[in-house]
């Protein structure tokens, strides 16, 4: 009986394993996120890539007694080895924000980094799920889409902008205000992943304590600009790396659950859809074995949310236009 039990456990574990690559694994987000992913038994191989220092990170992580095999790959000469055969690719690579910078200020540097990594992914693992964390997500996700289109391998169901940090912050701040358990608080956050494009749907919650207008506006602003709070608190020494690593690992883990066959896995994500007039928009999506299984409408908005929604659209168009201007430079 013991031998049979051990055999069943081994077979079940072996059947579930996925290969996950983290591009930017030696950075402030990549290292802690890789640690969290190493603890996920649905991962059989964790492939770590960065321009430098990756072998050391991989060696360190490999000593953790969890299932995933860890390999480290440094430099673009080794990116083929890092990506070949991967089921999921997570991209936190890029430079961090500093005091006074917005996510959009990172555009010129991070967009070119993401485009080069997307080119490699299109060549070496075109069928992988692509999870984009590198800011500005509102712009980097369309760049990845256009890169994959160039190689004829684009599938919108397999490309995700990870906006989970906005959900995590909303859950934390709302729970703090209401005296709830943040683990069981679930706030829908739609829009994008930068400032006023982040729209928490607080009217969808059943509150124990009603907020005043001032409290409501302050809470919305804190959710939208929570990253600034961290950048300021770190006094120029970094941005929101740990909370972003947690959020990135959470979304990756939920996607792995869906890939393993779990039903009703719903997360907010910035994907290509027709929910609004914009090509890309963050809204709840049901995840499945092939990526996006269903895109959900975000429901009714109250007056405050509708005003914020209407105000975000011109800014989102400007951001997307920047993306496509860069694409012209990169591809022509």
Is 169 annotated as belonging to a binding site?
yes
Single out the catalytic residue among 193, 204, 217, 296.
193
Is 28 annotated as belonging to a binding site?
yes
SS3 content of the chain, % helix, strand, coil (to 5): 50, 20, 30
User: Helices marked H in 162-262 — which ranges?
Assistant: 164-178, 213-224, 226-233, 241-259
Is 27 annotated as belonging to a binding site?
yes
Is 198 annotated as belonging to a binding site?
no
Strand partners, 19: 45
How far, in Å, CA of 208 to CA of 194, rounded? Answer: 29
Is 244 annotated as belonging to a binding site?
yes
- Fill in the DSSP letter of residue 50: E
Q: Return the SS3 of 270.
A: strand
Strands 265-272 and 198-200: unpaired
Going through the chain in order, the beta strands assigned E by DSSP cover 18-23, 43-50, 69-74, 88-91, 129-132, 159-161, 189-191, 198-200, 265-272, 280-288, 291-295
Within 8 A by CB and 6+ apart from 185, the residues are: 171, 172, 174, 175, 178
Buried b vs exposed e over 53-80: b needs ≥16 C-beta within 10 Å?
ebbebbeebbeeeebbebbbbbeeeebe
Question: Which run of H or E residues covers position 111?
Answer: helix 107-124
Is 50 annotated as belonging to a binding site?
yes
Is 103 annotated as belonging to a binding site?
yes
| Catalytic residue list contains 193 | yes
Q: Return the SS3 of 238.
A: coil
Is 218 annotated as belonging to a binding site?
no
Is 59 annotated as belonging to a binding site?
no
Is 25 annotated as belonging to a binding site?
yes
Residue numbering of the annotated binding site for NAD(+): 24-30, 50, 110, 133-135, 244
Catalytic positions, please?
193
Residue numbering of the annotated binding site: 24-30, 50, 97, 103, 110, 133-135, 169, 244
Residue numbering of the annotated binding site for substrate: 97, 103, 135, 169
């Amino acid at each position: 009986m013991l031998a049979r039990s051990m055999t069943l456990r081994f077979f079940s574990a072996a059947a579930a394993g996925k290969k996950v690559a983290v591009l930017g694994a030696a950075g402030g987000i990549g290292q802690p996120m890789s640690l969290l992913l190493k603890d996920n038994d649905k991962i059989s191989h964790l492939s770590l890539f960065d321009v430098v220092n990756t072998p050391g990170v991989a060696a360190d992580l490999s000593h953790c007694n969890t299932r995933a095999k860890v390999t480290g790959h440094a430099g673009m000469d080794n990116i083929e080895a890092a990506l070949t055969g991967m089921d999921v690719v997570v991209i936190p690579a890029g430079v961090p924000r500093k005091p006074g910078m917005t996510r959009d200020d990172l555009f010129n540097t991070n967009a070119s980094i993401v485009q080069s990594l997307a080119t490699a992914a299109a060549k070496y693992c075109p069928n992988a799920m692509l999870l984009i964390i590198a800011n500005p997500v509102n712009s980097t996700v369309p760049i990845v889409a256009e890169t994959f289109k160039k190689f004829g391998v684009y599938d919108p169901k397999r490309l995700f902008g990870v906006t989970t940090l906005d959900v995590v912050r909303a859950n934390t701040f709302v729970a703090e205000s209401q005296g709830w358990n943040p683990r069981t608080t679930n706030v829908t956050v739609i829009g994008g992943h930068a400032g006023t494009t982040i729209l928490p749907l607080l009217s969808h919650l059943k509150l124990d304590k009603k907020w005043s207008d001032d409290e409501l506006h302050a809470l919305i602003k804190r959710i939208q600009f929570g990253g600034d709070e961290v950048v300021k608190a770190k006094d120029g020494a970094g941005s929101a790396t740990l909370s972003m690593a947690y959020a990135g690992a959470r979304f990756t883990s939920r996607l792995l659950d869906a890939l393993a066959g779990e039903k009703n896995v719903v997360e907010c994500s910035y994907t290509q859809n027709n929910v609004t007039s914009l090509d890309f928009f963050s809204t709840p999506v049901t995840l499945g074995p092939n990526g996006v299984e269903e895109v959900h409408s975000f429901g009714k908005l109250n007056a405050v949310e509708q005003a914020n929604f209407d105000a975000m659209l011109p800014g989102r168009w400007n951001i997307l236009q920047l993306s496509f201007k860069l694409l012209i430079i990169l591809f022509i």
